[in-house]
Structure 1
Amino acid sequence: MITDFYDPPSLEGFRHGDLIRARPVFVPQLTAAAGAFQILYVSTNSRSELIPVSGIVVIPEEYAAPGTNALLLFSPGFRGLGGAEVPSRLLVTGNEPADSVAGIEAALRRGWVVAVPDGEGLGVWGTGPHTFLAARAAARVTLDLACAVYRSADLDTPVAPCVAWGYADGGRAVAAAGEMHPWYAPELDLRGVAAGAVVSDLGALAPLINRGGPAAGLGLAAVVGLARAYEQLPLRHVLTEEGALAAAEAARLPSSELLREFPQPLSHWCRRLDPWNDVWWRRVLALETLAHVGLAMPLHLYHGTRDDLVPVRAGQRALIAYRQRGTTVTWREYDAGHRATAVAAIGDVLARLGEDLTDPVAAAQRRPSHSEDEREGERPEHAPS
């Protein structure tokens, strides 16, 4: 018997991408929404085991015309390792962050259906902690959300191509979804991917995270999240006894509380100053490196030049790596910090994804060149190639 919508159900008889249950909800922050559904659906974890996950599907006031209509998979950034601060709940209570609301609202005004995953280990009670930074686990949850929307007659959404958009950790999720799409969810017509503030190589970024300050807690969150995703590997051995206690506490917290409670650098909680160089952690960080393969659809990368959380050079490395794999990639830089870039890019991102919908043949045939690299609308003097 269901006692709460978010209680984990039995998954016997289900396959990944199936809808478990849905209920209509009101989303007060979204003026362009005709309605929305909280949903529970089935995905898989990094060990290919079935798991229940949650999300929300938002319906526009008026659907776009055929040929321009889309299902937008909108993958948000880090929300914490635990707690109830997830999009499917916050959009109903009216507390979703403003930058996320702005992006969803803009897509709804285009007439697109917007589907937002909560993420593995978040939303559904008792399934945490969240697998933070495990891009391929997040990609499965993202792709299965689209499958759940299309397989369910209860949601009454039109069949249309998919596009995917994410920022920061959400950007890693949609980029990985583009890589995995051909073999994990080939039934989906995924036309384009937009990803901002993307880190392709976590190992290269690890030393930068190992510092005090407002974002220092992300280091501890990374250990907890990746250890959850790769439970079959001995990863927690890098933590001291104090670190293990801190990790257990962090695993229960939303992002705001986690970052406030744990301002120490990652090395403070570990037995060695460079835990990312442990042999098991090197293996995991290698597995979580993006651009192992190219994308079959266009990829749009963007970054803020004044981003003090994810350095722009990390995004440029992702650009180079994907181009080397033969992906059709565009690049744009914004003269802004991390949060400001998320908002500044909204119009450009939706325009790019709209092009992928209306002219998929031209988009697929387009080859990356310096003329496609943009910095605030102009060709940069020293764009990466």
Structure 2
Amino acid sequence: MNSAPMNSAFYDAPILDGRRAGDLVRTRPVFAPQLIGAAGAWQIIYISTNSRAERIPASGIVLIPEAVAAPGATAILVYCPEFRGLGGVCAPSQLLAIGTEPDTAGIEAALGRGWVVAVPDGEGLGVTGHGPHTFLAARAGGRVVLDLARAVYRGANLGAPVAPVLAWGYADGGRAVAASGELHPWYAPEVDLRGIAAGAVASDLAALAPAFSQGAGAGVGLAALIGLSRAYEHIPLRHVLTDDGIAAVAEAEHLTGTELLQRFPQPLAHWCQRPDPWNDQWWRRVLALETLAHTKPVVPLHLYHGSADAVVPVQAGRRTLIAYRQRGTEVSWREYDAGHHDTASTATSDVLARLGEDITGRPPITARVPPDSEHAARS
């Protein structure tokens, strides 16, 4: 298989004229050296839309298992790992091709079940010149998830079976897949989505923002400010920064997650004109827009969290559970006696078992748009 350099023309942005969301633009086979269970791997460029419903190019990778499970037991799993960075070589489709992806256990386990695994890079990663990544913008992430499923459906040359779709994500990846469940009925009702698993999910960023803006998570706060301001660049959000903050942002938006945490350990307030930049009228509006559980997903939602999670406090996950239950969502909850990173790996077998039940225990879903759901999802 081809292992072309990451700076090749493959990742150049395509012409968008005449293309629909979910259209597959280009593919190339690559080798995924970390994955024993992958018989084939394809980097892909496809079309999605952003939080303003504008068409954008997106990238990802599609992994074909050694042995596809029998009809009725197989699936296309859209898998969204947690934050990798705002820029640089940190897109999963690139990391898997060069053998440096830090999160492969879940992918390998899903391939072992005979499922196709599709991993989106996320808006702003992968495609040349379209960064920084819109970190924590769940509504943009949800569109990228659903359009990747569409692209796999439409990619006859990928060797993927026609199968139900599942979505699984952790932390900000969990927010993206949860949002995909809310968007699904009106944005991509033709996708046969059967179930969603989301770990360490905070539905309310306003409640969580102060915690990740100082201490060990200070760099994450800066990344959140950059990612959300990129997603909502029609709103004046960077006015909260000082001149030093503007310079810091210009550097940070090109860094991987590891580089970001090392380079910017200062509290977010260090770069801002006020001690609490989130308590600003424009930022309060954006954080409200990015709150999950606006609408009820029409598929089962499996939430899980570590009780000792120091990155996303378990209380935030419990509030997410309550918010979805109040919407009438079919939602389950599993809590692990573990921290953030240990929970991500410990939950793997449980997550795949629950998603497997969603394939075999539910008929195909024909999503219909409730009268007010599209308006709610767009608001």
Bucket of the pairwise TM-score, normalised by the shorter protein: over 0.9
The answer to whether the Cα contact below 8 Å between 1:334 and 1:341 also exists between their aligned partners in 2 is yes
Give the alignment partner of residue 311 of structure 1, picking from 310, 313, 326: 313
SS in 1 for 2:278: helix
Q: CA RMSD in A?
A: 1.5
Matches within 5 A, 1:32-111: 32-97=37-102, 100-111=103-114
Matched AA of 2:300: P
Distance of 2:321 and 2:214 partners within structure 1: 26
Structure 1 residue runs of 5 or longer lacking an equivalent are: 365-385
For residue 183 of structure 2, what is the aligned residue in structure 1? 180
The answer to whether the Cα contact below 8 Å between 1:166 and 1:172 also exists between their aligned partners in 2 is yes
Matches within 5 A, 1:213-224: 213=216, 215-224=217-226
SS in 2 for 1:126: coil
Displacement of 1:362 in angstroms is 12
Deviations 1:205-253 (A, max 9, x none): 112123222x210111111000000010010001111111111111010
Matches within 5 A, 1:271-282: 271-282=273-284
Matches within 5 A, 1:1-385: 4-97=9-102, 100-213=103-216, 215-360=217-362
Distance of 1:39 and 1:211 partners within structure 2: 37
SS in 2 for 1:341: helix
Matched AA of 1:341: T
Displacement of 1:88 in angstroms is 0.7
The answer to whether the Cα contact below 8 Å between 1:267 and 1:274 also exists between their aligned partners in 2 is yes
Distance of 1:159 and 1:137 partners within structure 2: 26
Matched AA of 1:207: P
Q: 1:306 to 1:362 in 2, by over 3 A?
A: farther
Distance of 2:32 and 2:159 partners within structure 1: 18
The answer to whether the Cα contact below 8 Å between 2:192 and 2:364 also exists between their aligned partners in 1 is no
SS in 1 for 2:19: coil
The 4+ residue runs of structure 1 with deviation greater than 3 A are: 361-364
The answer to whether the Cα contact below 8 Å between 2:64 and 2:159 also exists between their aligned partners in 1 is no
Distance of 2:299 and 2:98 partners within structure 1: 36
The answer to whether the Cα contact below 8 Å between 1:355 and 1:363 also exists between their aligned partners in 2 is no
Q: 1:197 to 1:7 in 2, by over 3 A?
A: same
Matched AA of 1:117: P
Displacement of 1:3 in angstroms is 5.7
SS in 2 for 1:276: coil
> TM-score, with normalisation over the residues of structure 2?
0.93
Structure 2 residue runs of 5 or longer lacking an equivalent are: 1-6, 367-379
Displacement of 1:93 in angstroms is 1.0
